Structure 1
Amino acid sequence: MADEGNSNPSRYVKLTKDQAQPLEDIKPGELNQPIEVPQLGVHKCNECGQPLPESFEPPADEPWTTGIFGCAEDTESCWTGLFCPCVLFGRNVENLREDTPWTTPCVCHAIFVEGGIALAAATAAIYGIDPRTSFLFCEGLLFSWWMCGIYTGLVRQSLQKKYHLKNSPCDPCLVHCCMHWCALCQEHREMKGRLSDDVAMPMTIVNPPPIQEMAADGDNRTSAPSSTNGTEHTTLEMQAL
């Protein structure tokens, strides 16, 4: 057995020290470099991150269906926005974000806007207008109005992004700072019109005919329901939803 093992020499050749290749000097972190994959360099949706085809073009921004001063076109939202803007703002946020109840943005709007104006009016009526403190009150009102303009402007920006609307007439935050009540009414009319367009069309329900049974008598004959004329028929009921 030993002779047979020696008759098959090993195919591996042992390298000497001179024949061995020198070790490469690898720096720390050199192997952890990013690799560019052409297949991954595709356009992706900003909302969901799904890859888009190369021929995809984002939809162009559309104009608003109503103008910023078209408050009279919807009398209900006009009166609500005039006397209870916090309620109208809460409804707009609820229509835009289904997971947010209208009470939360309504309370925030009431605290920053209606609450600040009511506090300033009550202080001026009770203690009078003091030149030394009037500047402090004005500064507080402007700060609360500025914060409310930013918050409501972000909601308007989300609405524009959802329906691909243009900045009309200017930046969303600036629109709410300068024309807050008109902007609330315009946003409500826009969502009201678009939600009415998304209502499902009426459907027609067709009921299947009743189940017919074949009964056998003693003579192994079958009988089926028939009409007065001797012809078999079924009734079809159609009901509009």
Structure 2
Amino acid sequence: MVTANSNARASQPGGYATATGVPVNSTPPLNTEKPEPRPPLPPNHQSEVPWSTGLCDCYSDCDSCCLTYCCPCITFGRISEIVDQGSSSCCLNGTLYTLLSIIGCSCLYSCFYRSKMRQQYSLQESSCCDCCVHFFCEPCALCQEYRELKNQGFDMAIRWDGNMQRRNPGIAMPPVVQEGMIR
């Protein structure tokens, strides 16, 4: 029996075939090795904790419920400033929330802050996603977030800076020294 390989050898000077890149044996070898299993994902260092109050526990805090019912922009502004740790202002976020509520999209903006707050405080997600909670029950969601931050120790009326000064009363800013000589 004459194979392609023996014909190629015979056609070349010295009896060697040139490399063509095409294997002579066309059946691929069987891969009998099993793939290695992936290592398990590391467990969460912090387990999720439940919210301190339920979504519909408005009876426990009538003040925040009335504020949210009358002016949800103020409630949202205060929540967003605390969640952003002072990097955004209550007034700016409240104004943006009001403008978005005119066109009916405020729930999309506020659900982002609910997700961010859940991540910061390792809070459990409800059976509905954050966007659904805000879409179907915006006032209750804002009230729950407001109560949660209060239960975390924040005084919502004094904003982020006031809360940081209250938590760290012994830390004072060093005095500002003017450079150069003044006559």
TM > 0.5 between the two? yes
CA distance in 2, matches of 1:107, 1:167: 27
CA distance in 1, matches of 2:61, 2:99: 26
Paired position in structure 2 for 1:127: none
Paired position in structure 2 for 1:31: none
Shift of 1:75: 1.5
- Specify which structure has the higher proportion of strand: 1
How do 1:57-76 residues align onto structure 2 when only pairs under 5 Å count?
A: 57-76=44-63
Q: Secondary structure at the match of 1:195?
A: coil
Shift of 1:109: 1.4
Bigger CA drift: 150-159 or 191-200? 191-200
1:66-85 CA-to-partner distances (Å, cap 9, x unmatched) read 00001121111111000000
Paired position in structure 1 for 2:91: 103
The higher relative CO (CA closer than 8 Å, separation ≥ 6) is in: 2
CA distance in 2, matches of 1:99, 1:190: 20
Shift of 1:112: 2.1
1:172-228 CA-to-partner distances (Å, cap 9, x unmatched) read 11110000000000000001110259975999xxxxxxxxxxxxxxxxxxxxxxxxx
How do 1:1-241 residues align onto structure 2 when only pairs under 5 Å count?
A: 57-97=44-84, 98-113=86-101, 116=102, 144-145=103-104, 147-196=105-154, 200=167
1:89-146 CA-to-partner distances (Å, cap 9, x unmatched) read 0010111111111011111111121xx3xxxxxxxxxxxxxxxxxxxxxxxxxxx33x
1:27-79 CA-to-partner distances (Å, cap 9, x unmatched) read xxxxxxxxxxxxxxxxxxxxxxxxxxxx8742111110000001121111111
Residue identity (%)? 29
Q: Do 2:97 and 2:109's aligned partners in 1 also have CA atoms closer than 8 Å? A: no
Letter of the structure 1 residue corresponding to residue 109 of structure 2: Y
CA distance in 2, matches of 1:173, 1:56: 26
Scaled by the length of structure 1, the TM-score of the pair is 0.45
Q: Secondary structure at the match of 1:61?
A: coil
Give the direction of change, closer, same or farther, for the CA distance of 1:104–1:72 in structure 2 (3 Å limit): same
Letter of the structure 2 residue corresponding to residue 73 of structure 1: S
Matched length: 120
1:9-42 CA-to-partner distances (Å, cap 9, x unmatched) read xxxxxxxxxxxxxxxxxxxxxxxxxxxxxxxxxx
Poorly superposed stretches of 4+, deviation over 6 Å: none
Give the direction of change, closer, same or farther, for the CA distance of 1:72–1:156 in structure 2 (3 Å limit): same
Letter of the structure 2 residue corresponding to residue 104 of structure 1: L
Q: Do 1:149 and 1:173's aligned partners in 2 also have CA atoms closer than 8 Å? A: yes
CA distance in 2, matches of 1:103, 1:202: 26
Q: Do 1:169 and 1:175's aligned partners in 2 also have CA atoms closer than 8 Å? A: no
Two-structure CA RMSD over aligned residues (Å): 2.6
- Specify which structure has the higher proportion of helix: 2
Q: Do 2:98 and 2:106's aligned partners in 1 also have CA atoms closer than 8 Å? A: no
